[in-house]
Each structure stands twice: as structure tokens, then as C-alpha cells.
Structure 1
């Protein structure tokens, strides 16, 4: 601000310098306001609001983790959907096995006919093993358990959140003839009637040539053997029902986590928006105010530049 008597000096126009400073500051504010409107962001650099920038960066990082976690949940559900579909196929084979075993348990059939049925059931066992081999996601053979031995279960841990502890662990039980029918863990299990040790047998997954176990039906298998085998099929069906139930529980947990993640993403995006994004109504009002001040400052500068001419009146 010029002091008393400054307007009477010509060499240094203090009033003009003050007007220039004011105009430059207004132009800077206009440029900043235009940047906010063009980018849609209230904070474009850390210097605009260092605390807000730090908070928003942390929120942005969290939103990125939550979005990826949402994708992870989708992938996890895909894995379980594949396993469930294969479980359903295996269950269908077991149901057909039970139907055939019930047919062979009837004394209206002869040994030859029972032999045909035994061959069909053996083929269904091979189909179950093949389903396990074909159920693959990425590099995981989902239904063959651990890679060493094709037994037990495959443990999977899904990252379903942006924090280290946000995980869901599930186990997909191996499904093959050895696991379903030779649950005792020995080399072979007798599935026929008591005293008939070789009529119907199940090899274990660890000792069979295929690594998954297999069913063997002797031509001497009687109706009593097949009646006993029905109990083994029922046990296998119960095992499969438990497997499907376990997958269903995990799928339900993933669905709940998916909904929670969606809500968290929305909440964190809203919080980040309140800090980072431009309020366009406010920015437009500010733009109008700054344009008026710019015009006023320009007019003031013009008057200040004309001020020294009044000194000519002293010279006459």
C-alpha cells in the first residue's frame, strides 16, 4: 500500500507495483481454480492440502486393495463352483452305482448278468477318477488332494480383504475311488459279504497303479456281496454330501464377504471424494468472483500507471 506522498514520485510507481502484485495473485488463483475444475480434483498437489493429500492417498490405497479383494472373491467362488460341479457329477455316478448294485443284489439275476453289472460299476469308478483328473483350475488339480499321493484334501487360502488377516481358508477333499470306498487306509478293502474276501474290493489311492484307487468285481460275486456293497455306496454318498455341504458353507462366507467389500469400497470412495474432488458449484462461484476481481485489479493497474502524469502539473 502506498504511503503518504508516494503518488508525488515518478521514478518508482508504488501504486502500480501494488496493483501488479494484486493482479498477479488473482491470476494465480484463477489458474488454480481452473485446474481444479479441469481435473475435477480439489487437491492436485501435496502443497494444496498436505494433510488431506496424505489421508486421501491412504484411502486410495485401501480402495485399490478392496477392489482387488473383490476380484479375488470372484475367483475363489469360481474355484468352488468348478469343484461343486464336479462333485455333482461324482454324486450322479454314485447314485447310478447304487441303482446297479441294488439290481445285482436281486437273486433273479444269474452270475453272467451280475458280471455285466460289475463291469459297469468298475467303469463308473474309473469315470469318478477321471472327473478328479479333469477338475483343474490354473495349476491346481482340485479333486486330487495334495499333489503327493492324491489323498486327503487340498487346502486353499483366499485373500478376501486388503489387510493381511483378511483371509478365508477352505479344504477341498480328494474325490476318487480310493478315498470314497477304501476309507480304512489299507492296501485293499473288502466291500463284499463277510467271508467273501475277494468278491468286491477297493484299492487304496496310495497303492493302486493309477494313484487313485479302483474297484474290482470278481465273477464269483453273489447277490449277498452286492447287498453289502450297497452300504459302501451309501457311505460314499454320505461323504460326498458332506463335501458339498463344506463347499456350500465356504461359498456362503464368500458371498457375505463380497457384499461387505462392496459396501466398504463405496464408503471409502465417498470419503476420498469428499477430500480430493472439486465441488463444482463452489468452484464456479469462486471463478465468477475471481473474474470480477481480475477486472477490478486490471482497472486499478491502468489508473496507477496513469498516476505519475499528474506530477506534470507541478512542472507547468
Structure 2
């Protein structure tokens, strides 16, 4: 800042230097202001607000994780929807098998008619195994048990949050003749346990009797109850995923809002600041011009 008597010296124009310093500061602030208006961000680099930049970066990282978790939840629901769709088809087959077995349990039918019914039920059982084989999501067989071994369950871990602990477990039991009808054989009706299993309704040339079918009805009821349990498990997991979906959506909104308050520029405030700085720029430029002309007064001493 110029001191008393500085205008009487020519070699160093202190008033001009002060005006230059002020103008440079105003130009710097105006440049920062224009950058904020052009990017829409209050913080464009760490030096603008080091603490705010660090906090916002962490929030943005969390939002990115939450958004991917939301996508993961959608994929998880797709997996369970595929399994549920197959369960519905299997259940339809079991209901048809129940109807046919009830028909064959009636003594009004002869051995030949029961043979035809047995063939139909065997084919429905093969269809159940085929459905399990064809229920696949991205090369993962969902209904053939652990490692495709036709027993046990496929255990899935869904990442439904941005933290390592934010997971949801799902278990899908194997669905095939061997698993559903284990121990259901009676009389001339037998259940093969090799691989996915198969149903047979004849012992050599002897067709299953009405009594055999009556005993087999309990096995079908057990298979239907087993499928109901599987559907219930999937339903509960789907419900949990839907709840997570809502929670994730709320978290994404809250964290995005927090990041916005830190990072985003207030355009009304920045525009007002721009007007103020432009006025100061003009006055500082005028002051610099006057300061540069100041030494001219020294010529009066030499007159």
C-alpha cells in the first residue's frame, strides 16, 4: 500500500504496484467465479476446499457403490424370477401327476389303461428333470443342486450394498425326480435315484395296481409340499430384495444430496459475485491507469 510521499518518487510507482496487485487478485477471483459458472461446481480442485473435496469424493464413491448395488438387486431378482417361473411349471406337472394318479387309483380302470397313465406320469417326471436342466442364468444351473450334482442346493450370495457386509444369502434346493420323490416308491412303482432320477410304473411285465397308485399319492403330496417350501423361500428372499431396493434408492438420494450441497455451485450467489467482481475489475483498471499517470505530477517540480 502506498505511503505518504510515495507519489514524489518516479523509479518505483508504489501506487501502481498496489493497483496491479488488487487487479490481479480480482482477475483471479473472477476467473474462479467463471469456472464455477461454467462447470456448475463450487469445488473444481482440492485447493478450493480441501476438506469439502475429500468429503464429497467419499460421498460420490459411496453413491457409485450404491448404484451398482441397486443394479445387483435387479439381477438377483431376475435370478429368482427365473427360478420361480420354473417352479410354477414343475408345480403344474405335479398337479397333473396328482390328477392322473388319482384316476389310476380307481378300480374301474384295467391294467392297460393304468399302463397308459403310468407312461404319462413318467413323461411328466422327465419334463421336471428337463426343466431343471434348462433353468440357467448366465451359465449357472439354478435347479440342479451344488455343482450340478442333482442334490443339495445352489447357494448364492448377492452383494446388495456398498459395504463388504451388505450381502443377502439365497439357497435354491435341487429340483428333480430323485429329490422330490425320494422314498415315494410303492409296490410296482419305483423311483430311480441315479442322476436326476426317474419314475417307473411297472415291475417287469406287471403294471402298477390301483393300490400302488393310492400309495403313490402320498409321495406326490410330499413332492407338492416340498415345492411349496421352495416357492416360499424364494418369495421371502424376493421380499427382502424389494426392501433393499427401496432402502438403496433412499440412500442414493440422501448421499447425492449431501454431495451436491458440498460440490455444486449456487448459481444465484455465483452470478451476484460475478457482477461484483466485474465492477471491481473496472474500478481497479481505472485506478491502475490513474496510478500510472501519477509520476507525471513530478514534472511540475522541474517547471
Give the TM bin, normalised by the shorter chain.
over 0.9
* Aligned counterpart for 1:256 among listed residues 222, 232, 243: 243
* TM-score calculated relative to the size of structure 1: 0.94
* Aligned counterpart for 1:312 among listed residues 295, 299, 303: 299
2:191 maps to 202
CA distance in 1, matches of 2:289, 2:81: 76
Question: Please, which runs of 5 or more residues in structure 1 have no aligned partner?
Answer: 183-188
How many residues are treated as equivalent by the alignment?
Answer: 300
Local SS of the residue matching 2:207: coil
* TM-score calculated relative to the size of structure 2: 0.98
In the alignment, is residue 268 of structure 1 matched against residue 255 of structure 2? Answer: yes
In the alignment, is residue 114 of structure 1 matched against residue 100 of structure 2? Answer: no
Local SS of the residue matching 1:158: strand
Local SS of the residue matching 1:273: helix
CA distance in 2, matches of 1:148, 1:163: 31
Q: Once the 2 structures are TM-superposed, how far is the Cα of residue 148 of structure 1 from its aligned partner? A: 5.2
CA distance in 2, matches of 1:259, 1:269: 15
Answer yes or no: is the 8 Å Cα contact 2:141–2:148 preserved in 1.
no
Within a 5 Å distance, the mapping from 1:25-174 to structure 2 comes to 25-147=25-147, 149-174=149-174
In the alignment, is residue 19 of structure 1 matched against residue 6 of structure 2? Answer: no
Answer yes or no: is the 8 Å Cα contact 2:126–2:198 preserved in 1.
yes
Local SS of the residue matching 2:147: coil
1:301 maps to 288
CA distance in 2, matches of 1:159, 1:123: 39
1:216 maps to 200
1:191 maps to 185
Q: Once the 2 structures are TM-superposed, how far is the Cα of residue 280 of structure 1 from its aligned partner? A: 0.5
Q: Once the 2 structures are TM-superposed, how far is the Cα of residue 108 of structure 1 from its aligned partner? A: 1.0
Deviations 1:209-230 (A, max 9, x none): xx10110110421101111111
Answer yes or no: is the 8 Å Cα contact 2:40–2:265 preserved in 1.
yes
Q: Once the 2 structures are TM-superposed, how far is the Cα of residue 190 of structure 1 from its aligned partner? A: 5.5
Root-mean-square deviation (Å): 0.8
Deviations 1:200-253 (A, max 9, x none): 01112xxx2xx1011011042110111111111011000000100000000000
Deviations 1:98-150 (A, max 9, x none): 00001111111110000000000000000000000000001210000111521
* Aligned counterpart for 1:240 among listed residues 219, 223, 227: 227
CA distance in 2, matches of 1:152, 1:96: 26
Q: Once the 2 structures are TM-superposed, how far is the Cα of residue 191 of structure 1 from its aligned partner? A: 2.0
Q: Once the 2 structures are TM-superposed, how far is the Cα of residue 95 of structure 1 from its aligned partner? A: 0.3
CA distance in 2, matches of 1:249, 1:143: 18
Following TM superposition, where does structure 1 have runs of at least 4 consecutive aligned residues deviating by more than 3 angstroms? none
Answer yes or no: is the 8 Å Cα contact 2:184–2:216 preserved in 1.
no
Q: Once the 2 structures are TM-superposed, how far is the Cα of residue 62 of structure 1 from its aligned partner? A: 0.5
